[in-house]
Homo-oligomer: A and B are copies of this chain.
Amino acid sequence: MEEYSVIGKRIPRVDGRVKVTGEARYAADYSMPGMLWCKMLRSPYPHARIVSIDTSRAEKLPGVKGVLTGKDFNGWTWGWMPKTRDEPPLAVDKVRYLAEAVAAVAAIDEDTAEEATELIKVEYEELPGVFDPEEAMKEGAPRVHDYVKNNLSWDFHMDFGDVDKGFGEADLVREDRFETGRVITGYLEPPAAVALWDSGGITIWAAKQSPYFVYRHLAACFNLPLNKVRIIQPFIGAGFGGTKNDSLAGDFCSVLFSKRTGRPVKFVYNMHEVLMTCRRRHNMIIHNKMGMKKDGIITAMQSKVIADGGAYTAIGPLTMYLTGSISTLPYKLPHFRHDAYRIFTNNPIGAAMRGHGVTHTRFAAEIQMEMMAEELGIDPIEVRLKNAITAPYETINKVTVHTCGLKEGLKTLSENPKWKKRSGGSPPEGPLSHGVGISGTAYLGGARQRGHQSCGAVVRLCEDGTIDYLTGATDCGQGSDTVLVQIVAEELGLGVEDVDIKRVDTAVTPCDAGSYGSRVTVLAGGAARNAARDVKRQLAEVAARNWEVDPGDIIFKDQRVYVKGEPEKAMPFRKLAQVACYAGSGAVIIGRGYSQYGIEELDFDKGIGNAGTSYSFTSQLTEVDVDLETGFVKCTDMVIAHDCGRPLNPINVEAQNQGGAIQGMGQAMYERFAMDLGKTLNANLADYKMPLSTDVPNIELIDIITDDPNGPYGAKEASEGSTVSSPPSVVSAIHDATGIWFKEQPVTPEKIVMALKKKRE
């Protein structure tokens, strides 16, 4: 790593200070003179026809400046794809999930707005609801959308090789049903925004992780050109997909209120609204079938996924695509068939979440593979090593892998003393049992699809040698601003303190598809590097003229610039900036960079080609203590051997892997929305149990360094990988401690006690 000065260093976050001191302003902190507050009236039914809405009493309440209902949006709907635009800003004619927004009020303060919502009289005709996707698929089930048969929101199919042939060659074939659970993204900052409509168009200070999505939605909803829609990013209190990666009723309503009143309009969802209504991870039922030879080699796999889509499509088609498109990693699959069905129900909307789509099917495949290895008497690491791919590799559906640290990671874990502490699925008779689990998974980085997917970067030289850096990529808490600043600093031979990254503002920062699919380091990082190199090229020309040498011989390092092999020809970077900006008529120096790449073959409908720019590989060892009387599980240790290519900021890679693994552990052990006929029963953070700091195990992180050609400095993704590796590893450990395979998340004490009881019977 010695060739780099800034890259690879444990550099604290550039936004750490303002966040720790409380100076950082989030969307809810914004306030403007004359500002109104917007509040939503939400449906008390999960499925009902709206017979009438009477807003007259609300309108008459002093301080109320406007009331909106669904009709005010003239039938406009939005969605992730042109053909799946099915969600209205406010319900029209019928409501499809409990607490769906039905009307909105703008008033001079929050209390008045809230009070006015209670004065709106809505007459509903309750309709029979459907809450279980398997039920919803049946003929005769109530329809969530009248025009959709069998409530099929989206389906996605892959068929490579000949699975029947593959299963025919197997010595053992298993079929199992898995279920992944209903979990929420779990950010602490609720959705919030302040919207302003003036003759320049829309300006909205909104908590978004991918502001350019919202920019397109607002332009479409209000029929404005894109250059009249401006999303300004405050600091963001986490995203994780779902809600903050999309638009919301509050966005559309606050903009429309501002248009009508000429005043800025603010909304802040409360945590009850968040937990009742916001987009969450799809619950999926996975019927997985796998064939294996006696020696552990997988011969074929077939998956059938039934996902609870909730009331609208949202980003669901991408979720379905991701459940299968990289299922062919990280284990060789000669034959693979995949059928995914996203089903409308009268539940809240299923959408993207960290580990998007992959975490579900990878969980099923990992557990099933280990179950089969157990039946065949093969060690869990051994079966993984036998099937693991090695780079370079092309899967049967043309996913191309240039670097792969999976085998190295698994081998490293197999040599770890902790691995020797396994009970091997034969737990003790005593009350406390110890278990060690394993997993070996893959995830994509630099998510790519067809469309406006590239990133741009602008790097501007100030005449004192400091740098303004503009990106459209949002740091929603993952630390990407720090990594991007490191990249710009590294290229120019500067320190991170010399580079100032600007908050995203769609009017002035370059377009960027968004902070999802572990895109930022890989793609926005590539754009940043190219833009910085563009500045370097321009400065090198000035320096080369100055010293009468070749521009290619100019070196930028340690805040200095010098000629290769001629140490006397050197000057501080600052000085070169002055020379460039002040010599002759003076130069303005602006660097521009793109992350453009070709898409040779990418078939979204068939699951062919690369869904990622590169692929990370995560091997995870997990230790648990299980109380066999109470079913209580304490996760004590994790060792994560992660191949993120080259770690650009090891402290950040650690933090992201820790966070991802804990989020995965929460999903495996604690978190679930308790639902009853579409109602979230535990819509508060006391009853919806995310891991607490006291639940966090010791986590050891081992960087498996590879050097991927498709990422800046060889970097790949870090964070979503461990969200994927953690659930199977935890469940593997619980199996090791209890001898029982749990196929439904979360594995709660209740389930453990019941299963142990059943086993003893």
Contacts and interface: CB of A to CB of B under 8 A. Distances in A.
A580 to B, nearest CB: 9
Oligomer copy total: 2
A227 B592 contact: no
Given A225-B462, A596-B585, A18 B511 contact: no
Nearest to A584: B599
A93 interface: no
Interface in A400-445: none
Contact of A510 (B455, B456, B590): B590
Given A18-B199, A226-B463, A464-B225, A453 B510 contact: no
A456 B461 CA distance: 11
A50 to B, nearest CB: 34
A467 interface: yes
A16 to B, nearest CB: 10
Contacts of A12: none
9 contacts: A18-B199, A23-B199, A225-B464, A227-B462, A452-B587, A453-B585, A505-B508, A508-B509, A590-B594
A199 B588 contact: no
A12 to B, nearest CB: 14
Contacts of A597: 585
A499 B225 CA distance: 10
Interface in A570-628: 581-582, 584-588, 590, 592, 594-599
B466 A23 contact: no
A483 to B, nearest CB: 18
A455 B468 CA distance: 16
A103 to B, nearest CB: 29
A18 B502 contact: no
Interface in A446-483: 448, 450-456, 458, 460, 462-464, 466-468, 470
Interface in A499-517: 499-500, 502, 505, 507-513
Contacts of A451: 582, 586
A455 B21 contact: no
Contacts of A464: 219, 225-226
Contact of A450 (B17, B228, B586): B586
A33 interface: yes
Interface residues of A, number: 59
Q: Which 7 A-B pairs have the closest CB atoms?
A: A456-B588, A226-B462, A227-B500, A452-B586, A225-B466, A227-B466, A452-B581
Given A226-B462, A452-B582, A584-B598, 16 more contacts: A17-B199, A200-B500, A225-B462, A225-B498, A225-B500, A227-B499, A450-B582, A450-B584, A456-B588, A462-B511, A468-B508, A505-B508, A508-B508, A527-B588, A584-B599, A587-B594
Which of A455, A470, A498, A500 has the most C-beta atoms of chain B within 10 angstroms of its own C-beta?
A500
Main secondary structure of the interface of A (DSSP, over half): loop
Given A198-B23, A502-B508, A510-B460, A467 B227 contact: yes
A36 B722 CA distance: 49
Nearest to A465: B225
Interface in A186-215: 198-200
A546 interface: no
A56 interface: no
B468 A586 contact: no
Interface in A15-57: 17-18, 21, 23, 31, 33
B588 A510 contact: yes
A198 B17 CA distance: 11
Given A227-B462, A464-B226, A582-B452, A590 B592 contact: yes
B33 A586 contact: no
A461 to B, nearest CB: 8
Given A226-B462, A227-B500, A592-B592, A585 B510 contact: no
A398 to B, nearest CB: 16
Contacts of A598: 584-585
A508 B227 contact: no
A462 B230 CA distance: 12
A455 B460 CA distance: 13
Contacts of A21: 199
Nearest to A455: B588
Contacts of A200: 18, 500
Given A452-B582, A463-B511, A596 B592 contact: no
Contacts of A595: 588
Nearest to A531: B590
Nearest to A613: B585
A682 to B, nearest CB: 36
Contacts of A463: 226, 452, 511
Contacts of A199: 17-18, 21, 23
Which of A17, A467, A468, A510 has the most C-beta atoms of chain B within 10 angstroms of its own C-beta?
A468
A468 B587 CA distance: 23
Contacts of A23: 198-199
A470 B452 CA distance: 21
A502 B232 CA distance: 14
Nearest to A226: B462
Nearest to A505: B508
Contacts of A31: 33
B511 A460 contact: yes
A121 B225 CA distance: 58
Contacts of A225: 462, 464, 466, 498, 500
Given A199-B17, A219-B464, A462-B226, A588 B584 contact: no
Nearest to A581: B452
Contacts of A462: 225-227, 511
Nearest to A600: B584
